[in-house]
Structures are given as structure tokens and as C-alpha cells.
């Protein structure tokens, strides 16, 4: 199960990096799409037990704050 959890964490980190890249270099709509994908992966990772559900919620909250900051800026 270790290998599967490591794959889930790696996939999660890739989604978060993709979101960060979209926030900095792309339009709000592309960033919003990356946010939705990242949230889906975070929820899946938490439901499988690779991360705690509160960690997933915290990360989603922080991503949403960054997305809103981009949308209003």
C-alpha cells in the first residue's frame, strides 16, 4: 500500500503545482479549472487515507483564497 499512497501523494502534489502555475501565468478561468481538478484529487487522496481530511480541507481553503485573490486583482 505504500507504493499506492506515494503515487496518490505525488499525483496530489502535481495537481497543486499545476494550480500554482495557472494562478501565476494563466487566466482566471484556467485557474478555476485547475482548482476544481486539484480539489477532486485532494478529496480522493483524503478519502483513501493518504492524508487527513482536515489537511485536505485546509489545502482546499488556501487554494480557494488564492483563486479569489486572482479573480479580484
Q: pTM (2 decimals)?
A: 0.94
- The DSSP output letter for 35 is H
**Exposed/middle/buried for residue 15 (C-beta within 10 Å: 0-12, 13-18, 19+):** buried
- Site of grid cell 495537481: 15
Residue 41: which residues within 8 A CB-CB, separation 6 or more? Answer: 11, 12, 15
Tens digits of residue pLDDT in 21-72: 999 999 999 999 999 999 999 999 999 999 999 999 999 999 999 999 999 9
Handedness of CA 8, 18, 62, 27 (dihedral sign): negative
Amino acid at each position: 500500500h505504500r507504493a499506492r499512497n506515494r503515487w496518490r501523494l505525488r499525483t496530489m502534489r502535481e495537481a497543486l503545482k499545476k494550480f500554482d502555475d495557472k494562478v501565476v501565468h494563466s487566466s482566471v478561468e484556467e485557474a478555476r479549472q485547475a482548482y476544481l481538478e486539484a480539489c477532486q484529487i485532494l478529496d480522493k487522496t483524503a478519502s483513501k487515507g493518504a492524508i487527513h481530511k482536515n489537511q485536505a480541507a485546509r489545502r482546499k481553503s488556501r487554494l480557494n483564497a488564492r483563486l479569489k485573490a486572482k479573480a479580484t486583482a
